[in-house]
Amino acid sequence: MNSSPVESTRPTSVRWVVLALLFAVSFAAYVQRLNFNVAGKFMIEDLGLSKAQLGWSISAFIACYTLFQLPGGMAGERFGSRRTLTWIVVLWGAFTLLTGLLPGLILGGATLSLISLLLVRALMGVFQAPVFPVLAGSIASWFPVARWALPNALSSSGLTLGAMATSPVVAWLAVTYGWRASLVLTAPFTLVIAALWWWYARDEPAEHASVNAAELRMIQAGRAPAQEESGKHPWLKVLANREVLLLTASYFCSNYAFYFFFSWFFIYLVEDRGFTALEGGFAASVPWLTGALGAAIGGAICDWACKRFGPRWGCRGPCVAALVLVAITLLIGAAVKNAYVALVFLSLAFALQQFTEGTYWAGTTFVAGRHTATASGILNTGGNLVGILSTQMFVLLEDRFGAMVAVASGAVFALLGAALWLLIRVDHPLQIEEKP
């Protein structure tokens, strides 16, 4: 007769099922985020918008997404990951539907179309903002100490694979059925993911009926006992922490290159590298595939290096090496004449940038502990604040100096990000006074 889960000495694997659901949430986040950017190529022509006006809509999303990172992380700590993620995933589907229906259909004319796009994309940014801070907080609760980089990296693979699937599928839908259908048809599956998350997930492992004692011991090993903290606003100390701020500054630099791929890569391939819309849709998916592989490999290496060399150099060494290589591959990809060779090097650059993802989030967990969601909100504020700069900078540099300079500008930021890692000490945890 089989022993019950509680009696078994072998740990159950509930944490991995929770991670699979977090992967699905991450996947959905980037489908609902990137579908607009791919459809934008067709919206410009249909709605009478300029490329700059489309950029404003993209920036409206990024601005609100950035501004609400810290409040989003705090909301995750206040309401728990289960409730927070369920509600925001439902709202993503609603705002994607509105993006496909409002401009030019319910609200006619170029001006009203632009206003509706700005408003809906801003609200989408507000409700997408909590996702990765809350996700990081959930991983901190569900995975053992110092084994956070790989699960964070795998969740990043979810976003890259979501983006990879989005580019060719949305491009095909837009060409075949129109850009409105490409948005409307990609919205409903978020409801399925929200329902699955609500049904299975719990805020803490101890609350889940399927977690046995062995898995719970594994997850809780090495953690300091929870104590009530003094003061009403611990987030202020998180916000002022040196390591959190340095991690945020470095992540800002790293994500400059990320936002080129997020905001303009499809259009760059079509307008500057000569791909057709359908070819560009498939070509634009390549970096997201290489990024998924890069993130997973980087997370595994970081966890191994932290165990072998300690958190400081286990996080610092891989990130410095990867960001230097990002700079080199971006420069080559921007300079080569052959479009397919450029695609190879730019895809490699994105893989190397994603190689660092799990390390940034694991480093933040090392520093912030139980306040990981709030600290991750600060981290991701920096990581997305640069998106406003990058999205507009690409257009300005391309208009003034050409696409090669615009793409190559990411190399400067990658090197700055690597230099900042030399100052970061993730083995200096946040200290908040606790009540006796």
Average pLDDT over residues 58-72: 88
CA–CA separation, 55 and 69 (whole Å)? 21
Is residue 1's pLDDT more than 60? Answer: no
Average pLDDT over residues 171-178: 88
- pLDDT of 436 reads 46
Least confident of 264-268, 325-329, 364-368, 398-402: 264-268
Is residue 432's pLDDT more than 80? Answer: no
Phi-psi region for residue 369, left (φ > 0), alpha (ψ -120 to 50) or beta? left
- pLDDT of 5 reads 43
Q: Which fold has domain 14-220+232-421?
A: Growth Hormone; Chain: A; (1.20.1250)
CA–CA separation, 225 and 227 (whole Å)? 6
Band the pLDDT of 6: cuts 50, 70, 90. very low
Mean pLDDT of the chain: 88
Tell the burial category of 207 from Cβ atoms under 10 Å away from its Cβ (0-12, 13-18, 19+): exposed
Give the pair of three-digit tokens for residue 292.
């998924």
pTM given for the model: 0.83
Asked whether the beta carbons of 394 and 261 are under 8 A apart, the reply is no
- Nearest CA to 347 among 275, 282, 406? 282
25-61: string of b/e by CB count within 10 Å (b at 16+)? bbbbbbbbbbbbbbbbbbbbeebebeeebbbbbbbbb
Report in angstroms the alpha-carbon separations of 203 from 134, 261, 350, 376, 434.
Answer: 10, 33, 33, 17, 23
- pLDDT of 196 reads 96
Average pLDDT over residues 260-269: 84
Collapsing DSSP to helix, strand or coil, 9 comes out as coil
Check residues 251 and 54 and name the one with the higher pLDDT. Answer: 251
Q: What is the pLDDT of residues 387-411, one digit of tens each?
A: 878 878 888 888 889 889 989 999 9
- pLDDT of 226 reads 60
Q: What is the pLDDT of residues 69-127, one digit of tens each?
A: 999 999 998 999 999 999 999 999 999 999 888 876 766 666 787 888 899 999 999 99
Average pLDDT over residues 367-376: 90
377-404: string of b/e by CB count within 10 Å (b at 16+)? bbbbbbbbbbbbbbbbbbbebbeeeebb
Average pLDDT over residues 333-359: 94
Is residue 15's pLDDT more than 70? Answer: yes
> Distance from CA of residue 6 to its chain's centroid?
36
DSSP annotation of 229: B
Band the pLDDT of 3: cuts 50, 70, 90. very low
Band the pLDDT of 261: cuts 50, 70, 90. confident
Is residue 268's pLDDT more than 90? Answer: no
Average pLDDT over residues 243-260: 94
Check residues 158 and 207 and name the one with the higher pLDDT. Answer: 207
Domain ranges of the chain: 14-220+232-421
- pLDDT of 100 reads 85
Least confident of 81-85, 269-273, 356-360, 408-412: 269-273
Give the pair of three-digit tokens for residue 120.
């809906």
User: Of 49-63, 224-238, 353-367, where does the model show the most confidence?
Assistant: 353-367
Is residue 256's pLDDT more than 90? Answer: yes
